[in-house]
Chain A
Amino acid sequence: MNEATTQERQHAAAVEPGWSNRNEGAAVSKSQSGVRLSGKLPKRPPGLWRTGINKFRRNPYAVAGLFVLILFIALAALAHYIAPYDPARIDLLNADAPPGTGNHLLGTDELGRDIWSRLLFSGQVSLSVGFAVAFVSVLIGTLVGSISGYFGGWIDAILMRLVDVMNAVPLLFLNILILAIFGSKFSYMILVLAFTSWMGVARLVRGTFLQLREMQYVEAARAIGVSNTGIIVRHLLRNATVPIIVTATLMVGGAILSESALSYLGLGIQSPDTSWGLMLSNAQEFMLLDPLQALYPGMCILIVVLAVNFVGDGIRDALDPRKQPVAERRRWSAWSRFLRSRT
């Protein structure tokens, strides 16, 4: 009866109007193709990635998120060509121009710098911080998690205590402390943020390793003499890819938020460079004069992070084979801990 009970549980999980079943499972994917082949049994059910892409495409939030994200990346990447002004060009004669004045699409700030151009170049900085941090922390996390999960024993014990300690320390404090001591360079910032966000990936990779270590095909691989690294790369890592990607999207958004926070506190990006957080910091001083100045960069952060999150959720729903509430709860807990350590 296992099959039936799983199905029932899946239904209990997705009690929504239309009774749609948002879970992935062999039964469902089989049935989809079954319907398409008008009642005949499919020769071979479509693979995880194929069904995943289909599911992703049917998720409007995820598609919209992806579209918005690509748009922002394109705008940021082409900032040099699109931006009408040098973002750092001070023009006191045209300071605080309202939106639409002359060539200034969104007006100018208190120093007469073109806000639209500054937004574009800020996007460059904020987005590269986001993706770079995600990349570096996935690297660190995967490394630590793999070592921990593969070797186990005292190595595992030490590394996991380290993760515990890192999780217990208020990370914003740690970021502030390090940046205050070592100075705030762009590269430092990426390293510091990555250094404080790799723990989730490490836990995840380690967990996958522990699960898979017991499985038979790993034993089999060992038996036919595949080397340790061979086993890691070929068998184990592949199984952790999807959750890692999902976690990485989380970190992109998180890093963009962190960057804005640190820049706001004066510990991040420094003038004449610019980022959305720095623009916000600047705007707060001139709140009375020009409230819109605070609106633009904040909206940019909000939209980009929202888009990244929707994409991440879309990927999770499409590809993460874990049961939905569990995956969802893990994700929310990761997010909220992240957020709350950075308020």
Chain B
Amino acid sequence: MTEYLVRRFIQSLIVMFLISIVTFGLIHAAPGGPTQIFLSPGLSQEAAKAQAHNLGLDRPLPLQYLKWLGGFLQGDLGYTFKNHLPVGQILWPTVGHTMVLMGTSWLLSLFIAIPWGIYNSTKAYGWSDQTASFISYVGFAMPTFWFGILLQELFALKLNWLPLSDMWAIDKEGQIGDLLLHLVLPVSVLTLGFLAGYVKYARTSMLEVLEQDYIRTARAKGVRESRVIYRHGLRNALIPIITIIGLDLPILVSGAALTENVFNWPGMGRLFVEMALAREYSVLMAITIVTAVLVIVGNFIADLLYALVDPRVQLGRKGGTAA
């Protein structure tokens, strides 16, 4: 266990290191690169040089990277070039906002999708299954942001039932009730997106399990059908579902750039797009690294869940063949 944790930690560090180098490299490979952007326009050649020197932009790239890394390790994410704000101050609140939005949608979709998908597997090709299929196909073929726009048109503009966008009304900042109202539309959009995949996934993985020999053994023992499904089948069917859940955890935080943009939700996804358009490289760098950390944490949690559900999996090595 300790060995596994240590090995895992070192692996993660290497991955993060690579990601940061690649991002840093990408940013500095840009035509003109930050050098152009960081400098105030209309400077004379000499003044520009002086400013570049002050900002450390005339030094070789590896040195610049090391400087950034040093700052990062001390918790210094750098400053925006526009208003010279600390990046952390901009970034951290958006992480929270995104988690509120994505967490709600994600949990909601899981709570609907898993029982529904499993029910559908027992009544494959029944009307409920067909409905789920329809939702999945449409959900997958539809641009989510378009669905968001349509919902806005209908519920916010036409019917005036729900707020059009943002997280709070201007005068009600911090009120939970208002937050919930603002959540309804974006959560609906995101839940549909998640649901489309999860419900089909839960169904097919359960169908696969129901074909296994041990299910026949259970029936031969005289286990009643509901117990066959919920006791003998469910835990096995959850194994592949957990994989997907683990892979999704980072997206919960990196967020829904599109949905956040449609609904003007002050989350990390929207921040990323905004900063990308403004070429605020220090913010982009920070978001990339934060996301990478979350990816790694997500994978780790998925591994733990795996080991919890599947006795064949011991942390660090996977035994046996997956069902």
Choose, from A24-32, A72-80, A235-243, A261-269, the stretch at the interface: A261-269
* Cα(A305)–Cα(B137), bound, Å: 9
Residue pair B197, A176 in contact (C-beta under 8 Å): no
21 contacts between A and B (CB under 8 A): A15-B125, A168-B292, A170-B251, A177-B284, A181-B26, A181-B29, A260-B146, A261-B258, A280-B143, A302-B141, A306-B137, A325-B204, A329-B205, A333-B201, A335-B140, A335-B197, A336-B140, A336-B200, A340-B197, A343-B144, A343-B258
Contact with B257, one of A173, A301, A303, A325 (Cβ below 8 angstroms) = A173
| Given A173-B291, A298-B142, 17 more pairs with CB closer than 8 A | A12-B210, A169-B19, A169-B295, A170-B250, A176-B272, A261-B145, A283-B149, A294-B153, A295-B150, A298-B150, A325-B204, A325-B207, A329-B240, A333-B201, A336-B196, A337-B197, A343-B257
A234 within 8 A of B: no
Chain B min CB distance to A32 (Å): 22
Size of interface on A: residues with Cβ below 8 Å to B: 62
Residue pair A265, B141 in contact (C-beta under 8 Å): no
A-B contact number at CB 8 A: 184
Q: Mark B234-278, 1 if CB is under 8 A from A, else 0.
A: 000000100010011011001011110110000001001100110
Minimum CB distance partner of A176 in chain B: B276
* Cα(A298)–Cα(B145), bound, Å: 9
> Which B residues are CB-close (under 8 A) to A302?
138, 141-143, 146
B10 within 8 A of A: no
Chain A min CB distance to B199 (Å): 9
Q: In residues 199-244 of chain B, which contact A (Cβ within 8 Å)?
A: 200-201, 204-205, 207-208, 210-211, 240, 244
Interface of B (DSSP majority class): helix
> Which B residues are CB-close (under 8 A) to A169?
19, 291-292, 295
Chain B min CB distance to A246 (Å): 15
* Cα(A283)–Cα(B26), bound, Å: 33
B55 within 8 A of A: no
* Cα(A261)–Cα(B296), bound, Å: 26
Minimum CB distance partner of A299 in chain B: B146
Query: Chain B interface residue count: which class?
Result: 35 or more
A319 within 8 A of B: no
Residue pair B201, A301 in contact (C-beta under 8 Å): no
Q: In residues 253-312 of chain A, which contact B (Cβ within 8 Å)?
A: 253, 257, 260-261, 264-267, 277, 280, 283-284, 287-288, 291, 294-295, 297-298, 301-303, 305-306, 309-310
> Which A residues are CB-close (under 8 A) to B144?
339, 343
B282 within 8 A of A: no
Most chain B C-beta atoms within 10 Å of own C-beta, residue among A12, A177, A183, A266 = A177
Contact with A167, one of B153, B247, B288 (Cβ below 8 angstroms) = B247
Minimum CB distance partner of A283 in chain B: B149
> Which B residues are CB-close (under 8 A) to A261?
143, 145, 258
Residue pair A165, B146 in contact (C-beta under 8 Å): no
* Cα(A17)–Cα(B129), bound, Å: 13
Assuming the contacts A173-B291, A280-B143, asked whether A309 and B193 have C-beta atoms less than 8 A apart, the reply is no
A328 within 8 A of B: yes
Assuming the contacts A339-B140, A339-B196, asked whether A287 and B27 have C-beta atoms less than 8 A apart, the reply is no
Chain B min CB distance to A303 (Å): 8
B287 within 8 A of A: yes
* Cα(A310)–Cα(B134), bound, Å: 12
* Cα(A265)–Cα(B270), bound, Å: 10
* Cα(A302)–Cα(B149), bound, Å: 14
A9 within 8 A of B: yes
